[in-house]
Amino acid sequence: MSKKIHGFYDSVLESFDKAAVHTGLPKGLLEQIKLCNAVYRINFPVKIGNKIEVVEAYRVQHSNHRNPTKGGIRYSSHVNQEEVMALATLMTYKCAIVDVPFGGAKGGVKINPWKYSEDELERITRRYTVELIKKNFIGPGRDVPAPDYGTGSREMAWILDTYQTFANGELDSAGCVTGKPVNQNGIRGRTEATGRGVYYGIKEFFEHKDLVSAIGLEPGIAGKTMVIQGLGNVGSYTGSISQHEGDVKVISVSEREGAIYKEDGIDIEKLLKVRKSTGSILNYPGAKKLKTREEALELKCDILVPAALENQIHVGNAKNIKAKVIAEAANGPVTSRAEKILLKKGVVILPDMYLNAGGVTVSYFEWLKNLSHMRFGRMEKRFDHNTYLNLVGITERLTGKSVNDKEKAFLTRGADEIDLVRSGLEETMISSFQQIKEVYKRKRKITDLRTAAFVTAINKISNDYNSLGVFP
């Protein structure tokens, strides 16, 4: 008899159970917070060339304790029901941790998106959207998809257009999906949001002397070494923002084609250009090519950023990890069994449900923008500018001194949409970390940040259930 493989969904459930015992909540309520509310599995036909292909797809709504439900859509040949369930489950806790008023959901389409033409992808996306509409699995107040692995703003624009074709005249229809192009009801700063949030989260961790000195490091992110697995949207923004704004040194990057190492640092923007023009990161000038891409994960470094898919750090390689901090930019990159080994070794894991929540946080801002039908900053930018201008003028008059034009421009600027999105995201990542740390410090029996994050999320969700009185 074949033994069931311990998979991603098992890992998520196991971590939930480990945390649940610290909440003291009744079993039934915990069960409701743990399990998926609705799983929609679809097979639909799409015409590819002159043949018909049947595509397997999913949308899972994990929790309706708040509505709409929210989460990305993944295009990958590895998609399966348990994976989508695991990802939807994580979305619920992610939203709770960053105080975004949504339940969790996730979608998956089992295709290799790199094998199809743009036209074919458009047909698949539009048909998938129609299937969601038919069963009420999409809508600004029901369930709001977003990009994930293998999808981006282009797919979101197709989803929006398909939805609007059917929802003729629905005032808030633009809020049916987030991660849209900026000129099609999107928001500035959404594309970089997950990576930027990862950076703010790592930076915040390094501000806490008690946590940082426990792993033998000095506080402050500047000068820390980083290894990145995956140069997709999340990995590349995490790397470049960490370099430019945090003065971090990226010493190794791994991708599908292999891994490179450069002791004095790899410039991520330059690496992206090299990959675009030559098709491989291995052509980065001056870098050493590692024998296998897995080797990158085992390098000595301060921060290891798995930014690809789940289950990358498992019982097979956990004991070889030399990083001091694992920053989970991807969802579920460390299995629950590997985690046990790593925690014993004293490795700090910054958990996915907190660390990569920047994407959904800015999705929330986008959704609010869509519902308000107005760009952030539109009402106050000019007013703020004029107020600051008056302040500077009065100060100049009273002191008899004057500031130069450059200083004046800096001091009197009113915030644009991008400024507000970034500061809203930074504030979210800082305050959420502090909430998790509070639980971590208060409960002596909790010895890792993932468990503290789960407890934080479970408690918030249980409060929602209590205040909503949803149980008949």
Q: How far is the CB of 71 from ligand GLU (least distance, A)?
A: 5
Is 83 near ligand GLU (CB under 6 A)? no
Instruction: Write each residue from 87 to 126 as x if it is in contact with ligand GLU (CB under 6 A), else as -, in one continuous string.
Output: -------x--------------------------------
The label of the residue with tokens 């339940």 reads 103
Q: CB-wise, 94 or 275, nearer to ligand GLU?
A: 94
Establish if 363 lies at the interface with ligand GLU (CB under 6 A): yes
Where helices occur in 54-117 by DSSP H, the ranges are 81-97
CB nearer ligand GLU, residue 94 or residue 180: 94
Assign 144 to helix, strand or coil: strand
By CB under 6 A, tell whether 148 contacts ligand GLU: yes
108 vs 246 by CB, closer to ligand GLU: 108
> Which position among 18, 70, 106, 180 bears the catalytic label?
106
Q: With contact defined as beta carbons under 8 Å apart, do 165 and 132 qualify?
A: no
Go through the chain and tell me how many residues it has: 472
* 12 backbone dihedrals φ, ψ, rounded to 5°: -65, -45
Q: Is 45 helix (H, G, I), strand (E, B) or coil?
A: strand
Q: How far is the CB of 128 from ligand GLU (least distance, A)?
A: 16
Closest separation between CB of residue 37 and ligand GLU, Å?
17
- How far is Cα 437 from Cα 219, in angstroms, rounded to an integer? 16
Question: What is the closest distance, in whole angstroms, from the C-beta atom of residue 223 to ligand GLU in the complex?
Answer: 29
Say how far apart CA 324 and CA 346 lie, in whole Å.
8
* Of residues 374-403, those binding ligand GLU (CB under 6 A): none
Options 29-37, 352-360, 409-417, 458-466: segment touching ligand GLU (CB under 6 A): 352-360
- Report the residue number, 46 or 308, with the smaller CB distance to ligand GLU: 308
Taking the CB of residue 52, how many other CB atoms lie within 10 A of it?
9
Instruction: Calculate ∠ Cα 120-125-131, nearest 5°.
Output: 130
DSSP letter string, 224-260? -EEEEE--SHHHHHHHHHHHHHH--EEEEEEETTEEE
Cα 359 to Cα 147: distance, rounded to the nearest angstrom: 9
> Would you count residue 146 as binding ligand GLU (CB under 6 A)?
yes
Instruction: Give the pairing of strands 225-229 and 249-255.
Output: parallel
What are all long-range contacts of 15-19, with beta carbons under 8 Å and residues at least 24 apart?
Answer: 15/336, 15/339, 15/450, 15/451, 15/454, 16/89, 16/454, 16/458, 18/336, 18/451, 18/454, 19/446, 19/450, 19/451, 19/454, 19/455, 19/458
Q: How far is the CB of 95 from ligand GLU (least distance, A)?
A: 8
Q: Please provide the distance, in angstroms rounded to a whole number, between the alpha carbons at the two ends of the chain.
A: 43
Identified binder of ligand GLU from the candidate list 68, 72, 103, 332, rule CB under 6 A: 72
Nearest distance from C-beta of residue 34 to ligand GLU, angstroms: 19
Residues 6+ apart with CB under 8 A from 456: 96, 97, 435, 436, 439
Binding string to ligand GLU for residues 168 to 187, with x set by CB under 6 A, is what? ----------x---------
Would you tell me how many other CB atoms lie within 10 Å of the CB of residue 138? 28
Q: From the list 71, 175, 186, 306, which residue makes contact with ligand GLU (rule: CB under 6 A)?
A: 71
In the list 249, 359, 417, 448, the residue contacting ligand GLU (rule: CB under 6 A) is: 359
Segment lying near ligand GLU (by CB under 6 A), choices 21-29, 66-74, 304-312, 436-444:
66-74
Q: Respond yes or no: is residue 288 known to be catalytic.
A: no
- Stretch in the footprint of ligand GLU (CB under 6 A) among 69-77, 276-284, 416-424, 438-446: 69-77
Integer Cα distance of 207 and 226 in angstroms = 17
| Number of shown-chain residues binding ligand GLU (CB under 6 A) | 12
C-alpha span between 120 and 311 (Å, rounded): 30
Among the residue ranges 7-15, 65-73, 205-213, 335-343, the one whose residues contact ligand GLU (CB under 6 A): 65-73
Q: Near ligand GLU by CB under 6 A, which window of 117-125, 296-304, 314-322, 358-366?
A: 358-366
With contacts defined by CB under 6 A, name the span among 164-172, 238-246, 286-294, 353-361 that binds ligand GLU: 353-361
Q: Could you tell me which residues come within 8 angstroms of residue 401 by beta carbon, excluding any fewer than 6 positions away?
A: none
Q: Which residue in the shown chain puts its C-beta closest to ligand GLU?
A: 72
Q: Cβ 352 to ligand GLU, closest distance in Å?
A: 8
CB of 357 to ligand GLU, least distance (A): 7
Integer CA distances (angstroms), 452 to 171, 306, 412, in order: 40, 21, 42
**Minimum distance from residue 49 beta carbon to ligand GLU (Å):** 30
Binding site for ligand GLU (CB under 6 A): 70-72, 94, 146, 148, 178, 331, 356, 359-360, 363
Indicate which residues carry an active-site annotation: 106
